[in-house]
Structure 1
Amino acid sequence: MDSVASPILYISLLLVLLGSVAFFVVRQVLKTRRIESALSRLQSKLNKEKGTAEEYYELGSILLEKRLFTQAIAQFQKAIKLETLEGQDLAAVYNALGFAYFAQEQYDLAIKQYKEALKLLPEYVTALNNLGHSYERKQLASPALECYEQALVIEPSNQTAKRRAESLRKRLVTSA
């Protein structure tokens, strides 16, 4: 009995493993197709006619995800230039623009964009975390710590801010 059960168990486990892998591959293919379809649709439309700020932001976000930072920056700037977005929506564009600059190691430009996002939405925790991270990359520990602490006041359970603030506090105590 054991000699028959072992191969059946092995084959069953192999089928479950292959089924799981197939599921994730199909899911990733569908996600990629959806993104590529949206990219194609938006690029086609925006090459023919002027788009909305939301369309430029959506295209910029897709390009950002594809790590095409320079192209993403251009789309985010077009969204801002239209002057139709405000509040949280405009803050999201500035935050994304800051992220694109950050990814290109243009930290001063990233900081400027994150600050614009925070002018519009002072409680924007993601922008605070991103601003703190930019300050860290510029070796400015004190302003970075201030950003993370401000994020923790707004969202005490923010794991990124907790981890980074703790690390910076240790670094500042050690260097003092």
Structure 2
Amino acid sequence: MDNSLAIFYLSLLLALLAVAGWAVVRQVFKTRKVESVLSRLQNKLQNDKCTTQEYYELGSIYLDKKLYTQAISLLQKALKAEDAGEETLAPIYNALGFAYFSQEQYDVAIRNYKEALKIVPDYVTALNNLGHVYEKKKLTAQALESYEEALKREPDNATAKRRAESLRKRLVPST
């Protein structure tokens, strides 16, 4: 009886170690891939001009690393790049909005999110981000309007559902 219990615990421990090992190896490969892309893009940026997509990719990596000032600089270069087409501009404006939002420059963030929505009116991510920045500015009605617009375009959007429900509760006067 004691022997089988020890074998069970040992098996459980090995299973947990295997899962943890798999997670670590997966994270190492993911990080290595990002660092490889980062290195390649930084080298390209030093040697010649990058394309809109390359500026955007590098800016996105800097956003992930919370290097907002560098990200803003690269994303602005992406907007000015010669090959910048209409379809690529909306995600760039959205990313710029996120960078400014992260630095608590809410008005500039709003301007960038709205710019993204001018280009692609049904850009749900930008609508959610716009709602979030309105919430931070305590503009509850505008935030709710933004989330409801996102829900019109994507009814199953979990973020917009959750935030809109929360805001509706705040706006309804208690009796």
TM-score normalised according to structure 2 size: 0.96
User: Are the equivalent residues in 2 in contact too, given 1:117–1:127 (CA < 8 A)?
Assistant: yes
Q: Which residue of 1 aligns with 2:96?
A: 97
Q: Which residue of 2 aligns with 1:110?
A: 109
Displacement of 1:86 after TM fit? 2.9
Q: Which residue of 2 aligns with 1:57?
A: 56
Partners of 2:117 and 2:86 in 1: CA distance: 10
Q: Which residue of 2 aligns with 1:163?
A: 162
Runs of 5+ in structure 1 lacking a partner?
A: none
Partner letter of residue 99 of structure 1? F
Matches within 5 A, 1:78-157: 78-157=77-156
Say if 2:173 is the partner of 1:174. yes
Partners of 2:85 and 2:163 in 1: CA distance: 30
Q: Which residue of 2 aligns with 1:41?
A: 40
Displacement of 1:169 after TM fit? 1.2
User: Are the equivalent residues in 2 in contact too, given 1:80–1:93 (CA < 8 A)?
Assistant: yes
Query: In the superposition, relative to structure 1, how do residues 96 and 175 fare at CA in structure 2: closer, same or farther (>3 Å)?
Result: farther
Runs of 5+ in structure 2 lacking a partner?
A: none
Displacement of 1:105 after TM fit? 0.8
RMSD: 1.4
Displacement of 1:175 after TM fit? 7.9
**How many residue pairs were aligned?**
175
Q: Which residue of 2 aligns with 1:14?
A: 13
Displacement of 1:85 after TM fit? 2.6
Partners of 2:165 and 2:121 in 1: CA distance: 22
TM-score normalised according to structure 1 size: 0.95
